């Protein structure tokens, strides 16, 4: 993928000594090669890089690519805020699993040089747009790259959710909650709840019940063009969590609407990247067979 890169934005996980070291090294390397470097202002403040600090608004207006140092959570936060501007992201893994941050810290400089040379491939990932309606008025809106979870929160009791797909009644679910996941999010919380793994190219949305009272409530995958509607029908409130980062306290009677966003997130992968090889590595599946 050939990109006309002049300005590079850097994001990092706060409170990590490894990120401090890597981000400083990468900034110096990029500037030595003549690129303009912007560092997201919160991390810039914590690292003493105020000369390079830039707000999200400035980054969205000027950056040609964003490099994220940290784990998947750090990349999720940056991706959701920049998706509307179409800025591609590349992740350097300094977290634990790293399903989306697929460059090892030890290979960082060489990999970024290959990125700047146009050797990376683009991977478009769908976003979900979530709104909450109360008494006919919209009270909450947020995008999600991984998943949207409506759960019992701190009540300790099951909740009841009426679920509709494109206006058609599906079921009333009595459970700890319901996960609505993108293909990207199918390897996150949904996987822990026995949901299906969806390849990123699959145009689908997974609905995965959390500890359902009726064991016949199984995960189901629907079209990515469908609209999911969830309404709390019993006298219980619930927590709405989007990518585990954006939260809203839903009340009895609230309606949650989830549908595909008109924006996508563009991830950049290094040469040789394989989704299936990533699954084998991260999920500890069998080793590559001998030939």
Q: Which sequence spans correspond to the domains of the chain?
A: 7-120+270-282, 127-262
Q: What is the mean pLDDT of the chain?
A: 91
Quick one: pLDDT at residue 291? Answer: 61
pLDDT tens readout for residues 163-172 = 999 999 999 9
Q: Does the pLDDT at position 191 exceed 60? A: yes
| DSSP label at residue 195 | P
State the distance between the two ends of the chain, measured CA to CA, in whole angstroms.
31
Q: What CA–CA distance (Å, rounded) separates 243 from 85?
A: 19
pLDDT digits (tens, 9 = 90+) for 205-245: 999 999 999 989 999 999 999 999 999 987 878 999 999 99
> CATH number of the domain at 7-120+270-282, please?
3.40.50.10330
With contact defined as beta carbons under 8 Å apart, do 180 and 148 qualify? yes
Predicted confidence (pLDDT) per residue in 23-38, tens digit: 999 999 999 999 999 9
Q: What pLDDT score does 97 carry?
A: 67
CA pair distance 104, 38, nearest whole angstrom: 22
Which of the 8 DSSP states describes residue 287? P
Helix (H) or strand (E) holding 74: helix 72-82
How many whole angstroms from its chain centre is CA 236?
Answer: 28
**Phi/psi class of residue 144: alpha, beta or left (left: φ > 0; alpha: ψ in -120 to 50)?**
beta
CATH number of 127-262: 2.60.200.30
Active site residues: 72
User: Per-residue confidence at 1, pLDDT binned at 50, 70, 90?
Assistant: low
Residue range 137-149, pLDDT digits in tens = 999 999 999 999 9
């Amino acid at each position: 993928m050939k990109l006309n890169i002049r300005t590079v934005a850097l994001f990092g996980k706060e409170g990590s000594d490894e990120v401090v070291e890597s981000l400083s090294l990468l900034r110096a390397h990029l500037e030595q090669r003549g690129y303009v470097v912007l560092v997201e202002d919160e991390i810039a403040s914590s690292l003493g890089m105020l000369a390079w600090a830039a707000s999200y608004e400035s980054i969205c207006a000027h950056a040609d690519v964003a490099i994220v140092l940290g784990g998947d959570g750090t990349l999720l936060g940056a991706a959701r805020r920049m998706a509307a501007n179409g800025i591609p992201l590349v992740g350097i893994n300094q977290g634990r699993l790293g399903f989306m941050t697929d460059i090892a810290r030890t290979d960082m400089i060489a990999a970024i040089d290959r990125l700047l040379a146009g050797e990376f491939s683009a991977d478009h990932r769908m976003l979900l747009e979530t709104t909450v309606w109360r008494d006919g008025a919209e009270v909450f809106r947020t995008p999600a790259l991984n998943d949207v979870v409506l759960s019992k929160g701190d009540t300790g009791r099951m909740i009841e959710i009426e679920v509709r797909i494109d206006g058609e009644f599906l079921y009333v679910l009595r459970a700890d909650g319901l996960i609505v996941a993108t293909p990207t999010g199918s390897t996150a919380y949904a996987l822990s709840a026995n949901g299906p793994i969806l390849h990123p190219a699959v145009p689908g949305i997974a609905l995965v019940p959390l500890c359902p009272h009726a064991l016949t409530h199984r995960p189901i995958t629907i079209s990515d063009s469908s609209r999911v509607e969830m309404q709390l029908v019993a006298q219980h409130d619930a927590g709405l969590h989007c990518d585990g980062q954006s939260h809203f306290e839903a009340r009895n009677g609230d309606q949650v609407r989830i549908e595909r966003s008109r924006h996508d997130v563009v991830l950049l992968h290094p040469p040789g990247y394989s989704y299936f090889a990533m699954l084998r590595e991260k999920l500890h599946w069998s080793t590559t067979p001998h030939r």
